[in-house]
């Protein structure tokens, strides 16, 4: 009776990842799953991701777009009437004119009592 050889799927995932890394190719669960499927080894995407993570093949983070202004993004997502960057800059200038934030707040409170 012939014994069936047990396949260590995690080891196979690591082998394929190291081969791809040596060739300078992209290491992703989808690519590894496709390559192992050709060998007759079926692995799931979560299993592949966890093995790669534990083996030190970390995912690359996405870069932010360099051309997009960050201040505009903050202003566009704010609710109507919310305080934005421009408002904070103006408040800072007012506080500097009054000699500090506390004095500016006191002045605004006095103004609101007069209204």
pLDDT tens digits, 36-88: 999 999 999 999 999 999 998 877 677 766 665 555 444 545 556 677 888 88
Domain count, the chain: 2
Q: Which domain holds residue 104?
A: 84-115
- Residue of 21, 25, 23, 43 lying closest to 34 (CA atoms): 43
pLDDT tens digits, 92-111: 888 888 888 888 888 888 88
In a domain, 111, yes or no: yes
In a domain, 18, yes or no: yes
CA dihedral (104, 106, 107, 110) in degrees, to 10, reads 160
Q: CA distances (Å), 4 to each of 8, 12, 35, 37, in order?
A: 13, 17, 22, 19
Provide the 8-state DSSP code for 68.
S
User: Could you give the count of Cα atoms lying within 13 Å of 75 in the half-sphere of its Cβ?
Assistant: 10
pLDDT above 90 (res 34)? yes
In a domain, 71, yes or no: no
pTM: 0.49
In a domain, 26, yes or no: yes
In a domain, 94, yes or no: yes
In a domain, 3, yes or no: no
What are the b/e assignments for 79-89, b being 16+ CB within 10 Å?
eeeeeeeeeee
- Residue of 110, 84, 81 lying closest to 102 (CA atoms): 110
């Amino acid at each position: 009776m012939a014994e069936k050889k047990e396949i260590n799927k995690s080891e196979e995932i690591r082998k394929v990842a190291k081969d791809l890394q040596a060739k300078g190719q992209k290491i992703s669960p989808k690519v590894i799953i496709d390559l192992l499927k050709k060998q007759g080894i079926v692995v799931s995407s979560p299993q592949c991701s966890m093995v790669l993570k534990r083996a030190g093949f970390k995912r690359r983070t996405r870069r932010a777009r360099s051309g997009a202004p960050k201040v505009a993004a903050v202003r566009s997502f704010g609710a109507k009437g919310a305080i934005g960057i421009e408002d904070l800059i103006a408040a800072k200038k007012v506080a500097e004119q009054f000699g500090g934030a506390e004095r500016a707040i006191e002045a605004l409170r006095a103004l609101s009592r007069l209204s």
